[in-house]
Homo-oligomer: A and B are copies of this chain.
Amino acid sequence: MKAVLLSIGDEILIGQITNTNSVWLASQLNRIGVHVVEMMTVGDDETAIVDALKESLSKSEIIIITGGLGPTRDDLTKDVLTHFFHTRLVFNQQVYDLLNTFFTSRGMSFNEPNKTQCYVPESCKVMMNYKGTAPGMLFHENHKIVASMPGVPYEMEAMAEGELFPYLRQHFQMPPILHRTFLTGGIPESELMIRLFDWENDLPADLKLAYLPSGGQVRLRLTSNNEDGNALERIENASRYLHLILDNEIVGYDEDSIASVVQQLCIQHGKTLVTAESCTGGFIAHQLTMIPGASKYFKGSIVAYHNTIKESLLDVPSDILLEFGAVSEQTVIQMAVSARRIMKADYAIAVSGIAGPEGGSPEKPVGTVWIAWASDEQTVARKFVWGKNRQATIQRTAQEALFRFRRFVLGMDL
- Determine if A299 and B292 form an interchain contact, defined as CB atoms under 8 angstroms apart: no
The residue on B at minimum CB distance from A285 is: B282
CB distance from A283 to the nearest CB of B (A): 5
The residue on B at minimum CB distance from A42 is: B38
Contact of A108 among B13, B188, B223 (CB under 8 A): B188
A314 vs B392: C-alpha distance in the bound complex, in angstroms? 32
Which residues in A have some Cβ–Cβ distance to B below 8 Å? 10-20, 22-30, 36-44, 48, 52, 55, 70-74, 108-109, 111-114, 131, 133, 152, 154, 157, 177, 179, 181, 188-191, 193-194, 200, 208-214, 219, 221, 223, 275, 277, 280-286, 288-290, 292-295, 298-306, 308-309, 312-313, 342-344, 355-359, 387, 389-392, 394
Contact of A286 among B111, B152, B212, B286 (CB under 8 A): B286
Q: Residues of B contacting A288 with CB < 8 Å?
A: 281
Q: Residues of B contacting A24 with CB < 8 Å?
A: 15
A193 vs B391: C-alpha distance in the bound complex, in angstroms? 35
CB distance from A388 to the nearest CB of B (A): 10
Known A-B contacts A200-B73, A210-B74; the reply to A154 vs B108 at CB < 8 A is: no
CB distance from A272 to the nearest CB of B (A): 8
Q: Residues of B contacting A212 with CB < 8 Å?
A: 11, 16-17
Q: Residues of B contacting A301 with CB < 8 Å?
A: 281-282, 301-303, 305
- Determine if B294 and A305 form an interchain contact, defined as CB atoms under 8 angstroms apart: yes
Q: Residues of B contacting A152 with CB < 8 Å?
A: 213-214
A209 vs B189: C-alpha distance in the bound complex, in angstroms? 45
Q: Residues of B contacting A211 with CB < 8 Å?
A: 70, 72, 74
CB distance from A48 to the nearest CB of B (A): 7
Known A-B contacts A40-B38, A71-B189, A282-B289; the reply to A305 vs B313 at CB < 8 A is: no
Known A-B contacts A281-B289, A294-B305, A300-B304; the reply to A40 vs B39 at CB < 8 A is: yes
CB distance from A401 to the nearest CB of B (A): 13
Q: List 16 A-B contacts (CB under 8 A).
A: A12-B39, A15-B23, A15-B29, A15-B30, A18-B19, A38-B52, A55-B55, A70-B211, A109-B191, A154-B389, A281-B285, A282-B283, A295-B305, A298-B305, A300-B304, A301-B303
CB distance from A353 to the nearest CB of B (A): 12
Given contacts A108-B191, A295-B359, A309-B343, 11 further A-B contacts (CB under 8 A): A11-B219, A12-B39, A15-B30, A18-B19, A18-B23, A38-B52, A55-B55, A131-B387, A299-B309, A300-B304, A300-B309
